[in-house]
Amino acid sequence: MIQRTINDIMDEYYNDEYLVDITYRNMIHTRREELLRIMAGEKAVDVIPTSNQRSKLKRDNILEVVYHQGGKQIIVSDKARRLLEEP
C-alpha cells in the first residue's frame, strides 16, 4: 500500500485548472465595478482608459471584441458576465 503525504494531497487539490479558476475569479472581483459599468452600456475605452489594461483583460478572456456594422465594440465575456451575476 502506498501512503500519500500531505504534499500529494495538496498537489491534487491545487492543480493548474483550480489555480487558473481562482485567479480568473480574483481578477473579476478586483475589476467588478468597472465591468458592471461596461455591462450597463458605458464604453470600455471610457471606463478603462489605459489600452494596456484593456489588452490584458482581453488576453485573459474577461473582455472580448465583437464587430458590428458600426465598427468594433469591447464587451464583457459571457463567462465573466456569469460570474458577475452570481450572488
pLDDT at 57: 95
pLDDT at 61: 93
Indicate the number of domains in the chain: 1
pLDDT at 5: 81
Q: Which residue has the cell 482608459?
A: 49
Question: CB-side exposure of 19: number of CA atoms within 13 Å?
Answer: 7
Asked whether residue 65 is assigned to any structural domain, the reply reads yes
Asked whether residue 78 is assigned to any structural domain, the reply reads yes
- Please give the DSSP secondary-structure letter assigned to residue 5: P
- Residue 71 belongs to what domain range? 6-85
pLDDT exceeds cutoff 90 at 30: yes
Q: At what angle do helices 16-30 and 78-85 cross, to 10 degrees?
A: 70
Asked whether residue 75 is assigned to any structural domain, the reply reads yes
pTM, to two decimals: 0.77
Asked whether residue 1 is assigned to any structural domain, the reply reads no
Higher pLDDT, 64 or 3: 64
Asked whether residue 38 is assigned to any structural domain, the reply reads yes
Asked whether residue 54 is assigned to any structural domain, the reply reads yes
Q: What is the pLDDT of residues 2-11, one digit of tens each?
A: 677 877 777 7
- DSSP assignments along 55-79, one per residue: HHHHHTTSEEEEEETTEEEEEE-HH
